[in-house]
Amino acid sequence: MLKTYLIANFLNLFMPGVIGGDAYRAMRTRRQTGGMAQALPSILLDRITGTLALFAVGLMGLTAFLAPQYLVLVAAAGVLALALGYALVRGPVRRLFERARLDAWFGLPRLARGIVAALDPTAALLWVLVIALVFQFNTVLINWLYGVLIGIDVPFSKLLLIVPIVYLAEAVPISIGGLGVREGRSP
Q: Is the pLDDT of residue 173 over 70?
A: no
| 181 class by beta-carbon count within 10 Å (0-12 exposed, 13-18 middle, 19+ buried) | middle
Tell me the three state secondary structure of residue 176. strand
CB neighbours of residue 49 within 10 Å: 19
Q: What is the pLDDT of residues 119-163, one digit of tens each?
A: 676 777 777 788 888 888 898 999 899 999 999 888 888 898 888
Check residue 92 and give its pLDDT: 72
CA distance to 17, 18, 20, 119, per residue, from 23 (Å): 12, 9, 5, 22
d(CA 165, CA 46): 19
Check residue 187 and give its pLDDT: 40
Q: Is the pLDDT of residue 28 over 50?
A: yes
Distant-in-sequence, close-in-space partners of 172: CB < 8 Å, separation ≥ 6: 17, 181
Q: Is the pLDDT of residue 174 over 70?
A: no
The DSSP symbol for 180 reads T
Q: What is the pLDDT of residues 14-23, one digit of tens each?
A: 776 667 777 8
CB distance 25 to 6 below 8 Å: no
Averaging pLDDT over each range in 28-37, 69-78, 88-97, which range is the top one? 69-78
Strand intervals (E) in 61-160: none
